[in-house]
Amino acid sequence: MVIPLYQKKYISIILSLSIQRVEIRVSSDKAAKDFYTTKLGLQMIEEIPAIGLLALKAGNIIVSVFGGFTHQNKTNKTAPAPI
Protein backbone atom coordinates (compact mmCIF):
# COMPACT_ATOMS: atom_id res chain seq x y z
CA MET A 1 0.00 0.00 0.00
CA VAL A 2 1.37 3.37 -1.04
CA ILE A 3 0.54 6.33 1.20
CA PRO A 4 0.42 9.72 -0.59
CA LEU A 5 2.94 12.31 0.63
CA TYR A 6 0.29 14.68 2.04
CA GLN A 7 -1.11 11.85 4.20
CA LYS A 8 2.38 10.96 5.50
CA LYS A 9 2.66 14.51 6.86
CA TYR A 10 -0.55 14.10 8.89
CA ILE A 11 0.44 10.63 10.11
CA SER A 12 3.76 12.06 11.32
CA ILE A 13 1.96 14.82 13.27
CA ILE A 14 -0.41 12.33 14.90
CA LEU A 15 2.40 9.98 15.90
CA SER A 16 4.33 12.83 17.54
CA LEU A 17 1.51 13.65 19.99
CA SER A 18 2.06 12.49 23.56
CA ILE A 19 0.41 12.58 26.97
CA GLN A 20 2.16 14.90 29.43
CA ARG A 21 -0.24 15.13 32.36
CA VAL A 22 -3.01 13.01 33.85
CA GLU A 23 -5.40 13.97 36.68
CA ILE A 24 -7.12 11.28 38.74
CA ARG A 25 -9.78 11.83 41.41
CA VAL A 26 -9.99 9.27 44.21
CA SER A 27 -11.92 8.82 47.45
CA SER A 28 -8.88 8.00 49.59
CA ASP A 29 -5.62 9.81 48.95
CA LYS A 30 -3.84 7.52 51.46
CA ALA A 31 -4.93 4.37 49.63
CA ALA A 32 -4.06 5.98 46.29
CA LYS A 33 -0.59 6.89 47.56
CA ASP A 34 0.02 3.29 48.58
CA PHE A 35 -1.33 1.91 45.31
CA TYR A 36 0.48 4.23 42.92
CA THR A 37 3.85 4.26 44.74
CA THR A 38 4.06 0.74 46.17
CA LYS A 39 2.11 -1.37 43.71
CA LEU A 40 2.74 0.55 40.45
CA GLY A 41 6.13 1.98 41.43
CA LEU A 42 5.48 5.60 40.44
CA GLN A 43 7.89 8.19 41.81
CA MET A 44 6.43 10.71 44.28
CA ILE A 45 7.17 14.32 43.36
CA GLU A 46 5.07 16.23 45.89
CA GLU A 47 2.33 15.73 48.45
CA ILE A 48 0.04 18.51 49.71
CA PRO A 49 -2.33 16.98 52.30
CA ALA A 50 -4.20 20.27 52.85
CA ILE A 51 -5.79 19.97 49.40
CA GLY A 52 -5.52 16.19 49.04
CA LEU A 53 -2.97 16.41 46.21
CA LEU A 54 -0.44 13.75 45.39
CA ALA A 55 1.88 14.48 42.44
CA LEU A 56 3.60 11.47 40.90
CA LYS A 57 5.86 10.81 37.95
CA ALA A 58 5.44 7.90 35.52
CA GLY A 59 8.26 8.18 33.00
CA ASN A 60 7.71 11.58 31.36
CA ILE A 61 4.09 11.81 32.52
CA ILE A 62 3.01 13.79 35.59
CA VAL A 63 0.10 12.16 37.45
CA SER A 64 -1.89 14.42 39.79
CA VAL A 65 -4.09 12.47 42.22
CA PHE A 66 -6.76 14.42 44.10
CA GLY A 67 -8.30 12.74 47.16
CA GLY A 68 -11.60 13.30 48.91
CA PHE A 69 -14.01 12.44 46.11
CA THR A 70 -17.02 10.19 46.57
CA HIS A 71 -19.47 8.63 44.15
CA GLN A 72 -22.33 10.69 45.60
CA ASN A 73 -20.42 13.99 45.62
CA LYS A 74 -18.48 14.28 42.38
CA THR A 75 -17.15 17.74 43.13
CA ASN A 76 -14.34 18.55 45.52
CA LYS A 77 -14.16 22.16 46.58
CA THR A 78 -10.44 21.87 47.31
CA ALA A 79 -9.43 20.65 43.84
CA PRO A 80 -8.95 23.20 41.06
CA ALA A 81 -11.62 23.41 38.39
CA PRO A 82 -10.72 21.80 35.06
CA ILE A 83 -9.40 24.19 32.44
- The answer to the question of residue 73 being in a domain is no
| Residues 37-47 pLDDT 10s | 999 999 999 99
Say if residue 55's pLDDT is above 90.
yes
* pTM: predicted TM-score of the whole model, two decimal places: 0.63
> Measured between alpha carbons, how far is 52 from 76 in angstroms, rounded to an integer?
10
Kindly state the average pLDDT of the residues 9-23.
Answer: 71
| Residues 20-33 pLDDT 10s | 899 999 998 889 99
Band (pLDDT 50/70/90 cuts) for residue 83 is: low
Q: Which domain holds residue 49?
A: 18-66
Residue 18 amino acid letter: S
Phi, psi of 37 (to 5 degrees): -85, -45
The number of domains in the chain is 1
- The answer to the question of residue 8 being in a domain is no
